Amino acid sequence: MRLTMKHLFWLKVAIHSIAILPVAYLILLILSDQAGGDPVQFIIHYTGIGALNTLIVLLAISPIARKFKQGVLIQTRRVVGLYVFAYASLHIFAFISLDLLFEWSLLIEEVLKRPYILVGALAYIILFALSITSFKVIRRKMGKRWQQLHNLVYLVAILVPIHFYWSVKSEVIEPSIYILVTSSLLLIRLPLYKFYQTILANKFKSKSTS
């Protein structure tokens, strides 16, 4: 079924519902005292994974839209991108409020001492810039510079999995999987990948017609 602009409203309703449910579930876990032995670290990890999962969904929208010729999906990128920023904000707020207890001097010390926090902070600054410039009015005013700025989402897609990988001490399997997934979603955007994809498609056509 080809999605049209008539389906856009319900697509966004579905996105809002799916994006908010994990937050509601987190609140339920906290209220029922099921947030693990270390609730603070659980909340920080949970919101960080939420940001990373939503980022993967954002990166997957364009390839899926092109593959299945569902152009209307492109119209959902802004709302998904804002949810990436929302989850990242919850992640940062949980770290500053619950772990550091708003000790700003300690925050600066942690950023300088731990490279993964510095990487995460840089990714968050970029996400903040992308979010405040996501409105149509600002997009029109920025012109070509808007696209140049929003291409930095690909840098975020590199920084966030690295931040995750460096933040763990021993369990590297999960962050390694995320690195593999984000790398794949970035690689399929490269001209070289598209070139080989075209060659394979032409070979398949020639075999099917012979």
What pLDDT, on a 0 to 100 scale, did the predictor assign at position 60?
96
Does the pLDDT at position 208 exceed 60? no
Give tens-digit pLDDT for 17-27: 999 999 999 99
Side chain identity at 67, as an amino acid letter? K
Gap between the Cα atoms of 23 and 19, Å rounded: 8
- Rounded to the nearest integer, the mean pLDDT of the chain is 90
| Distance from C-alpha of 54 to C-alpha of 60, rounded to nearest angstrom | 10
User: What is the average per-residue pLDDT within 172-176?
Assistant: 94
pLDDT above 90 for 202: no
Banded model confidence at residue 189, pLDDT cuts 50, 70, 90: confident
Region of 135 please: left (phi>0), alpha (psi -120 to 50) or beta.
beta
Instruction: Check whether 207 has a pLDDT greater than 60.
Output: no
Across 39-64, average pLDDT: 96
Q: Token pair for residue 49?
A: 């994974």
Contact 120, 159 (CB under 8 A): yes
What ranges do the domains of the chain cover? 5-200
Contacts of residue 151, defined as CB under 8 A and 6 or more positions apart, other chains included, come to none
Mean pLDDT of 139-144: 92
Contacts of 25 (CB under 8 A, 6+ apart): none
Judge contact between 123 and 160, C-beta under 8 A: yes
Are residues 54 and 16 in contact, defined by beta-carbon separation less than 8 angstroms? no
Would you say residue 16 has pLDDT above 80? yes
Q: Which of 40-44, 141-145, 165-169 has the highest average model confidence (pLDDT)?
A: 40-44
- Residue 42 to residue 19: CA distance in whole angstroms: 19
Dist. CA 98–CA 101, nearest whole Å: 5
